[in-house]
Amino acid sequence: MPETSTFSLDNRERDDAFANQGKPWRAVTDTVMGGISQAALHATMVDGKPCLRLSGEVRLENNGGFVQASLDLGTDGLLDASGFDGIEIEVCGNNDRYNLHLRTADTQRVWQSYRHSFTAGAHWQTLRIPFTAFVPHRIQLALNTRQLRRIGIVAIGRKMQADICFRGLALYRTNLVAQKTLPR
């Protein structure tokens, strides 16, 4: 019978845009590259649950196309997640597709990341995304979970209205617990 243990990155016990370790969540848009998408990120309550809400408009003009909530990981710039199986996050949204992006010490260019897509449904759901599900984007190296640098929740690649709420961000590990056989 599997058991799961977690290491919390952000449990949303704060009522601001800071995570557990005191680092800020940041809203980032394609304006850093000349695009015109707009985003807002703020702490709020949805269905009685404290969360962060990323909202905005993804526009494709001027080679644009993304809005993102990003969090730097680790107190010294890198986080060793090699003892874990993946990322756990609780989300709800507007029934649209979003990405979870990971950046590592190996992702030196802004367009490089490791990505996984998911749908943020209208009701809260907990997603468990194994590290093996992340696909390299514009990088040839395999995901190095010993050197995670940043995580991002991203609306990307198409014109859309972004509206996603998230909470309970953690690393998870599935421990297989052997069942004991009782003597007869």
Which domains does the chain show, CATH number per domain? 2-174 (2.60.120.430)
* Consecutive H or E run containing 7: strand 2-10
Give the whole-angstrom CA distance, residue 66 versus residue 62: 12
CA-angle at 142, arms to 23 and 169, nearest 5° = 30
Amino acid at the residue 89: I
Kindly report the number of other CB atoms within 10 A of residue 109's CB atom: 8
- Grouping H, G, I as helix, E, B as strand and the rest as coil, residue 145 is helix
Determine contact, residues 99/163, Cβ cutoff 8 Å.
Answer: no
Over residues 84-138, the pLDDT tens digits come to 999 999 999 999 999 999 999 999 998 999 999 999 999 999 999 999 999 999 9
Residue 1 has pLDDT above 90, yes or no: no
4 or 8, which is more confident? 8
Task: Using CB atoms within 10 Å of the CB of residue 184, give its burial: 0 to 12 exposed, 13 to 18 middle, 19+ buried.
Answer: exposed
**Secondary structure letter of residue 177 according to DSSP:** P
Kindly report the number of other CB atoms within 10 A of residue 76's CB atom: 5
Over residues 150-177, the pLDDT tens digits come to 999 999 999 999 999 999 999 999 986 5
57 or 1, which is more confident? 57
Average pLDDT over residues 17-25: 93
Residue 179 has pLDDT above 60, yes or no: no
- Grouping H, G, I as helix, E, B as strand and the rest as coil, residue 63 is helix
Over residues 53-90, the pLDDT tens digits come to 999 999 999 988 999 999 999 877 899 999 999 999 99
pTM of the model: 0.92
Over residues 36-59, the pLDDT tens digits come to 999 999 999 999 999 999 999 999
Q: What is the pLDDT of residue 3?
A: 82
